[in-house]
Structure 1
């Protein structure tokens, strides 16, 4: 089965966007981007994906600030494809795409307990900038990680 990696278009890739929002609801529950937000993410931000005929494999959703900061809203990999390098491959694809944009830095938040994700982000040069207490009103503390470009 062939894996495809691409940046999604809000109009042309509606079938994939629908699959992504359903996939994310299974993984993130109430924290998922959701049915009413996935198309605006692709239209006004970017949504990157690795997928094959059977599955959504890995997803990165990005929004942008007016001062050229990219924010990784969501980074996820399907459970059955984890630890196989797909998130690394997709983040590399995103960073390559950023070369065509005037991005100064990238920010993301991650649970302090998500050691695998923290290790992945550090591999790409992200640094822990600060701890965010109860950032999403869920009593979970998170790290704000930043990568300057």
Structure 2
């Protein structure tokens, strides 16, 4: 089917367009679906947008059956203008995600609510125990409004923070026998990486345990988009923490993907030193901006990032909803 990604000026009023939500057609061109998803992401993320290529289908995993798990939205002309699907790429029964995307010119229409409602109904039909989705930034307001209209309320928020002024902070001395080792590229031991992350975050802020297989899949996709730096913290050669840093060399943007210190080693300045090492790496690689996401209720982490010069960006806050 022919369609256009050219954006039209959006009215402040909701567009009255008749949409038809259909099951996935196995003859559907996946590149068309990817174009819609990218157009959606570019509209809401603006400068932070990173184009998704065919790797997104690898991330969804081989357990996804599109004719069972995905829906397509068509406009009055029969053109595909939206897609929504259910995936469990993290491999956790409590982490089934609803992913979605529509062409930006339909944000101010009834499509956001109609598509989300149909996808949630599909999840219930498949008897999912849990289904979660998220919105990103102020441009996602039509989806937040649709979810509120359907009676759903946020369960958590992630705040985006960024650092553009790499000020020189007062160096923090590491405790004796503690060292930081840096490795370029993906983790060489995914079981160790996942073990450190899970032990660092389990029981906090709706954290769902990671799995080595799904983490490896994510990193294999990310390495096609970014340069990757992994920092390990060791105490007498025993791993006690880890940090992962992605670098978009073209845009000169670095992203702190994860920072985890085992609970028994916190409040010793180790996390600060780990972040300082990450910031120095960003400077060495020519980054102009470093960004990260942090839970809005994680006051200790917020204070640490602010102390290092990070500023929050309320317009790019992620909002999570549990719809099943």
Please give the TM-score of this superposition, normalised by the length of structure 1. 0.73
Choose from 258, 261, 271 the match for 1:74.
Answer: 258
Give yes or no for contact 2:245–2:278 (8 Å, CA) kept in 1.
Answer: no
Give yes or no for contact 2:185–2:229 (8 Å, CA) kept in 1.
Answer: no
Inter-CA distance 129–102: structure 2 relative to 1 (3 Å threshold): same
Note the aligned Cα RMSD (angstroms).
2.9
- In structure 1, the partner of 2:191 is 18
Give yes or no for contact 1:6–1:48 (8 Å, CA) kept in 2.
Answer: yes
Give yes or no for contact 1:49–1:56 (8 Å, CA) kept in 2.
Answer: yes
Q: Gapped runs of 5+ residues in structure 1?
A: 140-149
- In structure 2, the partner of 1:59 is 242
Q: Gapped runs of 5+ residues in structure 2?
A: 1-175
- Rounded to whole Å, the distance in 2 between the matches of 1:88 and 1:2 is 17
Kindly indicate whether structure 1 or structure 2 has the higher relative contact order, using CA contacts under 8 Å at least 6 residues apart. Answer: 2
Choose from 279, 283, 290 the match for 1:106.
Answer: 290
- Rounded to whole Å, the distance in 1 between the matches of 2:241 and 2:277 is 12
1:12-51 deviation line (CA, Å, top 9, x unaligned): x734x53122221333553648444356468941111211
- Rounded to whole Å, the distance in 1 between the matches of 2:302 and 2:241 is 17
Give yes or no for contact 2:254–2:291 (8 Å, CA) kept in 1.
Answer: yes
- In structure 1, the partner of 2:232 is 49
Inter-CA distance 58–23: structure 2 relative to 1 (3 Å threshold): closer
2:241 partner SS:
strand
- In structure 2, the partner of 1:37 is 215
- Rounded to whole Å, the distance in 1 between the matches of 2:262 and 2:185 is 22
2:284 partner SS:
coil
Inter-CA distance 94–52: structure 2 relative to 1 (3 Å threshold): same
Choose from 177, 184, 199 the match for 1:2.
Answer: 177
Inter-CA distance 94–133: structure 2 relative to 1 (3 Å threshold): closer
1:95 maps to 2:279 = yes
1:130 partner SS:
strand
Q: Aligned pair count?
A: 135
Q: Which moved more, 1:63-72 or 1:109-118?
A: 63-72
